[in-house]
């Protein structure tokens, strides 16, 4: 097959259950929009006929593919040759187009593309991701099908061991698959595969970042970044603060945080926030919340719903200590993050 454009190709090592169904796939070096010469070299060897496919690889296919790539992509040919020693199932996933997901290897490839920073949040078609991701037990022996877990636990006990089950989930932790450069993550289990972490990001122990969400640059995350949320560079999410995601009440509205913002401890956000905005600690700003707008002299102007202030810069949201109403004032002291704190070389 001859092609001029292709969305993504990756060679992976994965885990199947006893029925032969894929549970998870690790892609050492996924390719996004690969060169047409590389695509043709791979597809010609595989006899690929088109469409999005996840093809099981036999070890006797590895050397012909590696030979075809030696002069084009030696780094990929090295990875393919190393797979010859694998005791695990191998797969090559070919995504001709960015379209709805239909297999587990396809879903894992797109999650890898996000965490490798090859595609930004909301840059992929992730429809169908929940049906294609099986709910599995993540253990110190890898992914295990839930229907096979008791047998594996019994086998471990009979051999004087304990099978450690860290969680039951569709999504694994990111760092078992991808560790992006220039980040610090205090508790790795709180960042899911498919998170996008920009260089200079610090995720503290209680910070959480979901898939298809993340930070675009230097940021301090001590709260929760839900699915679909984008936090721009220079912003600080305080302890136990929370941002409504596209799967938790935000519907189709993309909730984002602008540059140089501060969301205080235990605060919350339900609207897109403009640059250099601050939400005081403990204040949860939902889209329908009534906000009293004050001018630069702190004089009352009008009452609006918070959604009408979405995306506007240089705003300070506080709660009036006497009336209890939410007020919006001009933010005269935008935050500035400590550069030394976010230089994770």
- Alpha-carbon distance of 238 to 136, in angstroms, equals 32
- Decide if 218 is catalytic: no
Where residue 314 falls (left for φ over 0; alpha for ψ -120 to 50; beta otherwise) is left
Q: What does each C-alpha distance from 337 to 154, 228, 233, 275 come to in angstroms?
A: 51, 24, 10, 14
- Alpha-carbon distance of 74 to 68, in angstroms, equals 10
Burial of 152: CB neighbours in 10 Å, binned 0-12, 13-18, 19+ = middle
Which member of 222, 259, 280, 327 is catalytic? 222
Q: Which residue has the tokens 């060679």?
A: 11
How many other C-beta atoms can be found within 10 angstroms of the C-beta atom of residue 15? 18
The number of CA neighbours under 13 Å toward the Cβ of 294 is 17
Fill in the DSSP letter of residue 141: T
Q: What are phi and psi of 83, to 5 degrees?
A: -70, -15
Q: Give 146-211 as a DSSP string.
A: GGGHHHHHHHHHHTT----EEEEESS-BGGGT---TT-EES-GGGBBTT-EE-TTEEE-TT-EE-T
Residues counted in the chain: 345
- Alpha-carbon distance of 290 to 287, in angstroms, equals 9
Nearest-10 crossing angle of helices 59-69, 74-82: 160
- Would you name the residues annotated as active-site residues? 222
């Amino acid at each position: 097959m001859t092609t001029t454009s292709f969305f993504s190709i990756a060679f992976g090592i994965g885990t199947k259950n006893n029925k032969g169904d894929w549970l998870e796939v690790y892609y050492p070096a996924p390719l996004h929009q690969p060169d047409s010469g590389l695509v043709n070299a791979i597809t010609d060897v595989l006899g690929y006929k088109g469409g999005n496919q996840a093809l099981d690889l036999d070890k006797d296919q590895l050397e012909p593919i590696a030979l075809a790539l030696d002069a084009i992509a030696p780094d990929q040919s090295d990875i393919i040759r190393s797979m010859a020693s694998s005791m695990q199932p191998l797969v090559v996933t070919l995504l001709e187009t960015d379209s709805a997901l239909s297999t587990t290897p396809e879903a894992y490839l797109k999650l890898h593309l996000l965490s490798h920073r090859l595609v930004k949040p909301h840059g992929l078609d992730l429809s169908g991701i929940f049906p294609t991701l099986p709910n599995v037990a993540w253990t110190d022996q890898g992914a295990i099908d839930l229907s096979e877990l008791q047998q594996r636990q019994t086998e471990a006990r009979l051999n004087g061991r304990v099978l450690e089950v860290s969680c039951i989930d569709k999504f694994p932790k990111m760092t078992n698959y991808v560790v992006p450069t220039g980040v610090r993550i205090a508790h790795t289990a709180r960042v899911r595969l498919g998170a996008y972490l920009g260089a200079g990001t610090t995720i503290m122990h209680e910070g959480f970042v979901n898939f298809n969400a993340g930070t675009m640059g230097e940021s301090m995350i001590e709260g929760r970044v839900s699915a679909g949320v984008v936090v721009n560079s220079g912003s600080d999410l305080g302890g136990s603060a929370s941002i409504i995601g596209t799967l938790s009440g935000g519907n189709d509205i993309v909730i984002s945080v602008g540059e140089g913002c501060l969301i205080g401890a235990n605060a919350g956000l339900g609207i897109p926030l403009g640059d250099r905005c601050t939400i005081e600690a403990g204040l949860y700003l939902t889209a329908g919340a009534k906000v009293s707008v004050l001018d630069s002299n702190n004089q009352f102007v009008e009452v609006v719903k918070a959604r009408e202030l979405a995306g506007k810069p240089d705003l300070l949201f506080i709660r009036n200590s006497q009336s209890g109403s939410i007020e919006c004032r001009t933010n005269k002291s935008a935050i500035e993050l400590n550069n030394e704190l976010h230089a994770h070389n």
